[in-house]
Chains A and B, each alone.
Chain A
Amino acid sequence: MDLRRLIRLAALVAVSVCCASAEDIKLPGDWRGSIHGFGLVNYSARPDLEASPLRDGLGEHGFLLGDQRMQLKLEARSPKGTASLLAKPEFFYDAVAEKTGLGLREGYLDLAHDRWDLRVGRQIVTWGVGDLVFINDVFPKDYGAFFAGRPLEYLKRGVDAVNVNFQSDALSVEWIVIPPGLFTPDSLPPRGRFFQFDPFPSLPRQTDEPAATFDHTETALRLHRTVAETELSLYAYRGFGRTHALRPDNAAVPTRAVEFFPKLAVFGASARRSGLGGVWGVELGYYDSLDDRTGTNPAIENSQVRFILTYQRQLGQDVTGSLEYYGEQIQDYAAFRRSVPSGFPTRAELRDLIGVRVTKLLRYQTLKLSLFSFYSPRARDFFVNPEISYNFTDYLWAAAGGNIFGGPSASFFGQLGRNDNAYLSVRCSF
């Protein structure tokens, strides 16, 4: 780490510490405001500091992440609380890419009237009962952030959307509309930083996002109510798969690999309730691959049936455990097998995962030990994430952990096997 980086780091920490939070700021029209936020320093590296797909800078030394950032949380509320504004701008320095930037994590207007709520702007939406597996949560994720050891909240990305909520005892409705041109894809582990399988290693990439035409409006609907102490939800989505598909621009003489986003509709349901000494949940979804209903296009995922069963319970004093089983079954599997070009990896009809999480809190919940793991019984690949975190004070928090991937080289976690990493985050909130 050179001197310039150290100075930037020190400046960021100093700004975070000095930037005192402010409560109850008087604003025009009797609105009230507040300022909060945090400074975060977050690094991760491979244990073998020489191995890296990157050839310069920190990346050359095996760093996956060198993130220094400050997030502000600016809030304002109308006198009666029926209208409010929130913005979370982020200033960051990426020490691996040696890049400074400004982003908007969330920023929206909230209006409430009677049983109705309206939220307009960039917002994070999380649906479903799974733990790190998602079916009806069709909103964008940042898997690159997650696998590189960023704090868990960065697994979720915001959507630029209009969110209408209606609440009643009989039925509550959440309706999300993402206007054309505001499509947000998933962020996958960046090819420059992660070793991973690339079907077109020598071709430059091109990303084709859905065109901004009216019929490309994305809509997501959730209907929910509680029946006999069971929380029931129905879901529907029409839009695009957020994890890109990949095709060569020309089958005979490819010059580019094109990342594109096939049309997708999802229909599903979930239920959650207490029982068996804990809480259990079930979620189902049908992924209707609108651009490849026959299953004959090798570049586009076939339609799938996906399911999750979850169960969590307290195991002892301040110890909690959870278990989940996730599966996705490819429809028209025979057509899929026929369509896979020779030399390309294929996959099983059913991909499944067993997820286990154990969390232990110690020292008045200031010290947290957690272990999360996925194991696929069929593909025999796995992912393990042990973490220890400690609250030094109400305002200073640190976490250290590891991400360990393994399995056959063509499997999902197996292909990430050379990216095992250890991470450290230090966060100062104000």
Chain B
Amino acid sequence: MKTQLTFFWPLLFAASLPGQAPTADEIAGKSQQAFSYAGQDMVARVVMTLVTARGEQRVRDLTLLRRNADAGRQKYFLYFHSPADVRGTAFLVGKEPGRDADRWLFIPAINLVQRIAARDAESSFVGSDFSYEDVSGRPLPADSRKLLREESLNGRACYVVESVPKTRASFTRKLAWIDRANFLPLKEEYFDAQQALFRVFTADEVRDADGLPTVTRRTMKNVKSGHRTEVVFKQVKYNAGLGEDVFTERALRRPPAPWISGD
């Protein structure tokens, strides 16, 4: 816990007085913690379905491993089970707050570990409607925010927070409905340079996993193209005891069997 407190100290410093509503930055901080940093580590089997406006589907089945480190750093390891063409492909991501993440890609056909240069805000994650940044979380200082109101969404009391990016982003404005009780984002609307709505995120199912509320079904829809990506998190486990050795070049070449099994 200490490590996370270090990262979020500016938020604690601005802690609200009793009885006052939290500030927009506090809400965003708690939301990022609940959505992207829950537990010390996480293991999940993730099925991602990419659906075109005409209903054509592509499916990516992967194992996601995440481990938190100090000062907001995180490591992600993603292993693809299917489709057959990308089976065995693995991603290693070193998230560094304040700059683009370090990314390595393992291509099994030629046994090559490649380093990838990507700007997180502008790169689609494996062709889905999610950007790299949507997967691993946009840095808190990258946006300025306002708490617009509180309202109910699907029977859940929510804060409605507006974010405007201060650094490079795929949007010019974002509205987020954040659950008052567990701080998970239940809906996000992204607006483009013409102030038109172009992407909508929805948390379609929230479940407890190892005592931590988790968005187990989510959708990102591009309302302009009609394309959407549905993501289901299965077999979520927190605090599984992932070691640093899971996030290495060796693991890319030879996936850590205990965590990847279950084909």
A-side residues, CB < 8 A to B, are: 21, 23-24, 32, 34, 36-38, 77, 80-82, 110, 112, 117, 123-126, 152-153, 155-156, 165, 167, 172, 224, 229, 231, 272, 274, 277-279, 281, 312-314, 316-318, 320, 322, 361, 364-366, 391, 393-395, 397, 427, 429-430
Given A117-B254, A365-B127, A124:B245 Cβ within 8 A: no
Supplied contacts A322-B117, A364-B124, A364-B129, 14 more A-B pairs, CB within 8 Å: A34-B263, A37-B84, A112-B254, A112-B257, A117-B254, A124-B110, A229-B102, A274-B100, A279-B116, A314-B123, A318-B124, A364-B128, A394-B85, A429-B84
* Residues of chain B within 8 A of A172, CB atoms compared: 249-250
Q: What 6 pairs across the A-B complex have the smallest Cβ distances?
A: A81-B257, A365-B127, A394-B83, A278-B117, A153-B109, A126-B112
Give A61 to B116 CA distance when docked, in angstroms. 41
Q: Does B118 contact A (CB under 8 A)?
A: yes
Interface string of B85-116 (1 = CB under 8 A from A): 10100000000000010100000011110011
Given A21-B84, A112-B254, A316:B58 Cβ within 8 A: no
* Residues of chain A within 8 A of B58, CB atoms compared: 366, 391, 393-394
B-side residues, CB < 8 A to A, are: 50, 52, 56, 58-59, 82-85, 87, 100, 102, 109-112, 115-119, 122-124, 126-129, 227, 245, 248-250, 254, 257-258, 260-261, 263
* Residues of chain A within 8 A of B116, CB atoms compared: 279
Chain B proximity of A30: nearest CB distance (Å): 12
* Residues of chain B within 8 A of A231, CB atoms compared: 115
The answer to whether A167 and B110 touch across the interface, beta carbons within 8 angstroms, is: no
* Residues of chain B within 8 A of A117, CB atoms compared: 250, 254
* Residues of chain B within 8 A of A361, CB atoms compared: 124, 127
- Residue of B with least CB distance to A36: B84
Give A397 to B83 CA distance when docked, in angstroms. 12
Give A92 to B122 CA distance when docked, in angstroms. 41
- Residue of A with least CB distance to B222: A364
| 28 A–B contacts, CB within 8 A, in A order | A32-B263, A34-B263, A38-B85, A112-B254, A124-B109, A126-B110, A156-B110, A167-B245, A224-B249, A277-B117, A281-B115, A313-B117, A314-B117, A314-B118, A317-B122, A318-B124, A320-B117, A320-B118, A364-B50, A364-B127, A393-B56, A393-B58, A394-B58, A394-B82, A395-B83, A395-B85, A429-B84, A430-B84
Chain B proximity of A32: nearest CB distance (Å): 7
Give A224 to B249 CA distance when docked, in angstroms. 10
Give A366 to B86 CA distance when docked, in angstroms. 13
* Residues of chain B within 8 A of A281, CB atoms compared: 115
The answer to whether A24 and B263 touch across the interface, beta carbons within 8 angstroms, is: yes
* Residues of chain A within 8 A of B124, CB atoms compared: 318, 361, 364-365
Give A394 to B84 CA distance when docked, in angstroms. 8
Give A278 to B100 CA distance when docked, in angstroms. 9
The answer to whether B87 and A36 touch across the interface, beta carbons within 8 angstroms, is: yes
* Residues of chain A within 8 A of B250, CB atoms compared: 117, 165, 167, 172
* Residues of chain B within 8 A of A365, CB atoms compared: 124, 126-127
Give A397 to B245 CA distance when docked, in angstroms. 35
- Number of A-B residue pairs, CB cutoff 8 Å, is 104
* Residues of chain A within 8 A of B260, CB atoms compared: 81
Give A56 to B148 CA distance when docked, in angstroms. 77
Chain B proximity of A21: nearest CB distance (Å): 6
- Residue of B with least CB distance to A166: B250
Give A110 to B52 CA distance when docked, in angstroms. 40
- Residue of B with least CB distance to A365: B127
Contact of A81 among B122, B129, B261 (CB under 8 A): B261
- Residue of B with least CB distance to A105: B109
Give A153 to B85 CA distance when docked, in angstroms. 13
The answer to whether B110 and A394 touch across the interface, beta carbons within 8 angstroms, is: no
* Residues of chain A within 8 A of B123, CB atoms compared: 314, 317-318
* Residues of chain A within 8 A of B128, CB atoms compared: 364
Chain A proximity of B119: nearest CB distance (Å): 5
Contact of B85 among A112, A156, A316, A397 (CB under 8 A): A397
* Residues of chain B within 8 A of A36, CB atoms compared: 84, 87
The answer to whether B84 and A77 touch across the interface, beta carbons within 8 angstroms, is: no
The answer to whether B117 and A395 touch across the interface, beta carbons within 8 angstroms, is: no
The answer to whether A366 and B127 touch across the interface, beta carbons within 8 angstroms, is: yes
* Residues of chain B within 8 A of A156, CB atoms compared: 110
Contact of A274 among B82, B84, B102 (CB under 8 A): B102
Give A249 to B101 CA distance when docked, in angstroms. 58
- Residue of B with least CB distance to A88: B109
Give A287 to B100 CA distance when docked, in angstroms. 37
* Residues of chain B within 8 A of A125, CB atoms compared: 111
Give A365 to B227 CA distance when docked, in angstroms. 13
* Residues of chain A within 8 A of B258, CB atoms compared: 80-81
Chain A proximity of B220: nearest CB distance (Å): 12
Give A21 to B263 CA distance when docked, in angstroms. 13
The answer to whether A312 and B85 touch across the interface, beta carbons within 8 angstroms, is: no
Chain A proximity of B95: nearest CB distance (Å): 13
Give A38 to B85 CA distance when docked, in angstroms. 8
* Residues of chain A within 8 A of B52, CB atoms compared: 364
* Residues of chain A within 8 A of B84, CB atoms compared: 21, 36-38, 394-395, 429-430
* Residues of chain B within 8 A of A322, CB atoms compared: 117
* Residues of chain B within 8 A of A395, CB atoms compared: 83-85
* Residues of chain A within 8 A of B119, CB atoms compared: 314
Give A21 to B84 CA distance when docked, in angstroms. 9
Give A278 to B82 CA distance when docked, in angstroms. 29
Give A145 to B201 CA distance when docked, in angstroms. 45
The answer to whether A82 and B257 touch across the interface, beta carbons within 8 angstroms, is: yes
- Residue of A with least CB distance to B56: A393
Chain B proximity of A199: nearest CB distance (Å): 32
Chain A proximity of B189: nearest CB distance (Å): 20
The answer to whether A274 and B83 touch across the interface, beta carbons within 8 angstroms, is: no
Give A99 to B110 CA distance when docked, in angstroms. 26
Chain B proximity of A14: nearest CB distance (Å): 18
* Residues of chain B within 8 A of A314, CB atoms compared: 117-119, 122-123
* Residues of chain A within 8 A of B111, CB atoms compared: 123-126
- Residue of A with least CB distance to B104: A231
